[in-house]
Chains A and B, each alone.
Chain A
Amino acid sequence: QSALTQPRSVSGSPGQSVTISCAGTSSDVGGYNYVSWYQHHPGKAPKLIIYDVTKRPSGVPDRFSGSKSGYTASLTISGLQAEDEAEYYCCSYAGSFTVFGTGTKVTVL
């Protein structure tokens, strides 16, 4: 089972929007509406920011939104803030198995 494909890095200025893609296959992203996204600051526990493609846990700002089309899921961060600078990982259920994305470094310019 191969990792989901994410861009290595994206960047934006404060207030701008950035979108991170997560490409999979019919066995994972395309087969289930169970894509989640995690924000990871070095040395800290990864934090859930989106689950079940579009749902946002309590406490996560509505600047974070998720979507999916076919075999590709996306995370959009609107109104980019300095504290959003981190590594972001997508994750998909794949039938008694879980696959993560390759990770995307978001840089706030």
Chain B
Amino acid sequence: QVQLQESGPGLVKPSQTLSLNCTVSGGSISSGSYYWTWIRQPAGKGLEWIGRIYTHGGTDYNPSLKSRVTMSVDTSKSQFSLKLSSVTAADTAVYHCARSPVGATHFFDPWGQGTLVTVSS
């Protein structure tokens, strides 16, 4: 059973870069059958799709965040990563990683439990 676990600093200063990792266990991150995705939820608000990366190349980002987002995959560590630059208080949220199948379907399963990132000086 595939499991995803987010990790990274819980506190980031304004204007700095938020960096998170998602470790995949119980399955291969190298499979060409999946996209690896980041989703966030600000306190008291709904879910927001940040973007996705395909292990064999290619990314799609939320247009509203595209200029600040970079995603990458490290197959040797079975991890994929999120970097969000020039953060502000509006980027304070619980950040989830999730897996999405490639093909004629669209859903996220499984999800990581999420990690809270607070942007504050």
Give the interface of A toward B (CB within 8 A). Answer: 1, 3, 32, 34, 36, 38, 43-48, 51-52, 57, 89, 91, 93, 96-103
Contact = CB atoms under 8 A, between A and B. Distances in A.
Given A1-B64, A91-B47, 14 more contacts: A1-B63, A34-B105, A38-B108, A43-B113, A45-B110, A46-B47, A47-B111, A48-B109, A93-B106, A97-B60, A98-B49, A99-B49, A100-B46, A103-B46
Contact of A48 (B46, B107, B112): B107
A59 B38 CA distance: 25
Of A3, A45, A51, the most chain B CB neighbours within 10 A belong to: A45
Contacts of A48: 107-110
B35 to A, nearest CB: 10
Interface string B37-68: 00100000011110000000000101110000
Interface of B: 39, 46-49, 60, 62-64, 96, 105-114
Contact of A45 (B46, B47, B63, B113): B113
A98 B106 contact: yes
- Shortest beta-carbon contacts, A-B, top 7: A34-B106, A51-B107, A98-B49, A93-B106, A36-B107, A100-B47, A48-B109
A92 to B, nearest CB: 8
A45 B106 contact: no
B105 to A, nearest CB: 6
Given A97-B49, A100-B48, A45 B108 contact: no
A106 to B, nearest CB: 15
A45 B114 contact: yes
A96 B35 CA distance: 12
A45 B49 contact: no
16 contacts: A1-B62, A3-B46, A32-B106, A36-B107, A43-B113, A45-B112, A46-B96, A46-B111, A51-B106, A51-B107, A91-B107, A97-B63, A98-B49, A98-B106, A103-B46, A103-B47
